[in-house]
Amino acid sequence: MKSETYYILLAEDDEDDRLFFKEAISELKINSVLTIVNDGVQLMNYLNQKDVELPHLLFLDINMPRKNGMKALQEIRSSERLKDLSVAMYSTSSAQKDIEDALANGANIYINKPSDFDHLKKIITKAVSVNWQYHTSGLNKENFILNIE
């Protein structure tokens, strides 16, 4: 990846998952700035600040208190300022309904949270290396879920 700074935003309510993600990012050879919010309300408050640097990629948990990831995704896609934000739904859920809802609501990719640290690092590396605007031009249910072989 280029030496430019890559802005990553994680919306995650689980403290262990936040720490796991932060540690994985710190071990990668990516010049990045990671911002973490704890729920969908904090996420939208952060993104709606006029002077905030919008992230290159948002990792968005589905199951969060106060405002879940699907509601936040809908708000992001309906906002003129935020509608082109690259969003990776990041969830423990592998339910078809969650995957289909994420696709229908405009997420760029769906990632099942890995429990293995090395797998998480591979997922993050792959996610930040994709040009999401190009990738989503041919998006369908088969290529929506990000897998690491």
Q: What pLDDT is stored for residue 2 in this prediction? A: 46
Of residues 148 and 58, the one with the higher pLDDT is 58
CA 63 to chain centre: 13
Task: Reply yes or no on whether the pLDDT at 144 is more than 60.
Answer: no
Please check whether residue 59 is in contact with residue 21, taking contact to mean a CB–CB distance below 8 angstroms: yes
Question: What burial class does residue 102 get, using C-beta atoms within 10 Å of its C-beta: 0-12 exposed, 13-18 middle, 19+ buried?
Answer: buried
Q: Of 105, 120, 104, which is closest to residue 12 (Cα–Cα)?
A: 120
Residue 107 has pLDDT above 70, yes or no: yes
Which CATH number among 3.30.70.260, 3.40.190.10, 3.40.50.1220, 3.40.50.2300 corresponds to the domain 6-148?
3.40.50.2300
Q: What's the pTM value of the predicted model, to 2 decimals? A: 0.87
Over residues 30-40, the mean pLDDT reads: 92
| In the chain, domain spans | 6-148
* 8-30 per-position pLDDT tens digit: 999 999 999 999 999 999 998 88
